[in-house]
Structure 1
Amino acid sequence: MSSTLTLDKSVLVDRAKASMRQHLQAPAWSVRQKVALTCRILFAQGHDSGLAGQITARAERPGTYYTQRLGLGFDEISPANVLLVDEDLAVIEGEGMANPANRFHSWIYRQRPDARCIVHTHPPHLCALAMLKRPLVVAQMDACMLYEDVGFLADWPGVPVGNDEGVLISAALGGRRAAILAHHGLVVAAQSVEEACVVAVQCERAARLQLMAEAVGDIARIDPALAREAHDWILQPTRSAATFAYFARRVLGALPPGSQTLHDLQAGEASPAAALP
């Protein structure tokens, strides 16, 4: 005899969340490993654009963060070449230099104490929307994780290596998880590396779906209350961690067995996803 078929949806949602916190597992990667994995995941998802784009994550010491070394593509990043830098982009640990465009990350971190990771990439479908100066339209369930959570910077400030660009971009982002930068690309600021990676992947997928739908007809809008419900359901930390782990398994599975890069990116025993930051 079933004991759940008469339960209210809110009760079922709470039960499902509790089960996910108990059963979903994720490896105990270090922050350096997660930054490197995010670079490789986003490369595999079509976010690469030569040397453009940066992934950063707050480090243990206040005012410092990890980022990839300039001169390497996303597919070349490993924990060994992830740098530790300060807000002025001076290298504290590692060899080489950070991308000078990381300056606007420093501004976002100052404005957003909740942000633990920032992703900036130039994925093609989202950049197509940016060229059209067209905001993202969220009208599909998977994309609801982005509902009311994507800002838009309509005026391109040029190469983002100055402080004015940091002010503009951080203001366009506001308290949201993502923003489209007109004539430029994507920026994501999230509460964990896992969440930032998953949001970035979904932003490009949602942009591709939007362009496909608009080529056929007008997009039908969705009910705001249902969209907000789906937003909160999809963006649970446990789901983000589990999704990131799935993307990571795909990346790791494509590396040659026994390679140093594979060794450097592998983590220890799995831990409950709820325990991840």
Structure 2
Amino acid sequence: MRANTLNLSKAEIVARSLAQMDSDLPVHDWAPRQKLALTCRILFDGGHDSGLSGQITCRADVPDTYYTQPLGCGFDEVTPANLLLVDHDLRTLDGQGIPNPANRFHTWIYRARPEVNCIIHTHPFNVSALSMLEVPLDVSHMDVCPLYDDCAFLEKWPGVPVGNEEGEIISTAIGDKRAILLAHHGMLVTGRTVEEACILALLMERAARLQLAAMQAGTIKAIPPALAREAHDWTSTPKRNAVTFGYYARRALRNHPDTLA
């Protein structure tokens, strides 16, 4: 059989591949509450468990409201049924319990970034260890290029993020980027979709683990910016995020059959 694509340019092959992924790859249509519960289990299995630290939120249909887990509920206990609906003053509108007071800085980011529909803040081990060094995330591997030039850095810890001051500081520091490393604290990622935020959160912990391991072996070498941006864009598409999320969701459902109960 004669091959017909061997003379195509890389740009043409990329365009064809993206079009084929968009048209041919199926994705599961979970409801927002289900996606949040699945993300919590995915992140729990991905090393983001830190007791009751960390929050996940997603905009709801009513303006200036979002879903989040109740304070006292670990990521491995979140289900669609126990999520709360809260307003920007963190008043519970639906559900049993109260949100984590640290959700206040989510409100500040949502107000500054209308395109953001999901925020994840966690204290995973490797990100937390890297944050203690007061150095930015160093993206120097193909797998974590979705974070290339897309991860801000807050090098001074402003204290526990329960006040409006911390909300202003963090929302300003992240700017228009999708992620931020918080010194002496942890990480935060944003997404236009829950799927996007989930994948970025997993990648950020992997990037920190890679960086810490590489620093022990020698000096990290930078990758060419043009190629890094190419990889960033290749892997940062809604369909790619949805398909990747589907894989992690299936794995989470095998590990946690009660997730969507």
TM bin, normalised by shorter chain, reads over 0.9
Displacement, 1:134?
1.1
Percent of aligned positions that are identical: 58
Report the Cα distance in structure 1 between the residues aligned to 2:260 and 2:103, rounded to whole angstroms: 28
**One-letter identity of the residue aligned with 1:73:** G
Alignment of 1:90-105 (within 5 A): 90-105=91-106
Displacement, 1:129?
1.0
Deviations 1:47-88 (A, max 9, x none): 010000000000011100000111010000000101100000
**One-letter identity of the residue aligned with 1:106:** T
Report the Cα distance in structure 2 between the residues aligned to 1:28 and 1:3, rounded to whole angstroms: 35
SS in 2 for 1:26: coil
SS in 2 for 1:118: strand
Report the Cα distance in structure 2 between the residues aligned to 1:233 and 1:223, rounded to whole angstroms: 15
Q: Which residue of 2 aligns with 1:201?
A: 202
Displacement, 1:255?
3.0
Displacement, 1:178?
0.3
Displacement, 1:89?
0.5
Deviations 1:122-164 (A, max 9, x none): 0110111111111111110011110000000011111100000
Q: Which residue of 1 aligns with 2:29?
A: 28
- Contact map agreement 2:34 2:260 (CA 8 A) in 1: no
Cα separation, partners in 2 of 1:263 and 1:138, compared to 1, 3 Å? closer
**One-letter identity of the residue aligned with 1:200:** A
Unaligned runs of 5+ in 2: none
Report the Cα distance in structure 2 between the residues aligned to 1:91 and 1:2, rounded to whole angstroms: 60
Displacement, 1:169?
0.4
Runs of 4+ aligned residues of structure 1 deviating over 2 Å after TM superposition are 261-264
Report the Cα distance in structure 2 between the residues aligned to 1:46 and 1:86, rounded to whole angstroms: 29
Alignment of 1:1-277 (within 5 A): 1-256=2-257, 261-264=258-261
Deviations 1:171-227 (A, max 9, x none): 111100100011000011111100000000000001000000110000111000000
SS in 2 for 1:27: coil
Alignment size in residue pairs: 260
Displacement, 1:263?
4.8
Report the Cα distance in structure 2 between the residues aligned to 1:220 and 1:18, rounded to whole angstroms: 33
What is the TM-score with the length of structure 1 in the denominator? Answer: 0.93
Unaligned runs of 5+ in 1: 265-277
Q: Which residue of 2 aligns with 1:273?
A: none
Report the Cα distance in structure 2 between the residues aligned to 1:142 and 1:77, rounded to whole angstroms: 29
Report the Cα distance in structure 2 between the residues aligned to 1:26 and 1:212, rounded to whole angstroms: 34
Report the Cα distance in structure 1 between the residues aligned to 2:32 and 2:116, rounded to whole angstroms: 14
Report the Cα distance in structure 2 between the residues aligned to 1:177 and 1:54, rounded to whole angstroms: 16
**One-letter identity of the residue aligned with 1:107:** W
Report the Cα distance in structure 2 between the residues aligned to 1:57 and 1:104, rounded to whole angstroms: 13
Deviations 1:77-133 (A, max 9, x none): 000101100000101110000000000000000000110100000011011111111
Report the Cα distance in structure 2 between the residues aligned to 1:215 and 1:101, rounded to whole angstroms: 34
Q: Which residue of 2 aligns with 1:274?
A: none
Report the Cα distance in structure 2 between the residues aligned to 1:263 and 1:66, rounded to whole angstroms: 16
Cα separation, partners in 2 of 1:176 and 1:51, compared to 1, 3 Å? same
Displacement, 1:262?
4.6
Cα separation, partners in 2 of 1:248 and 1:30, compared to 1, 3 Å? same
SS in 2 for 1:200: helix
**One-letter identity of the residue aligned with 2:256:** L
SS in 2 for 1:215: helix
SS in 2 for 1:180: strand
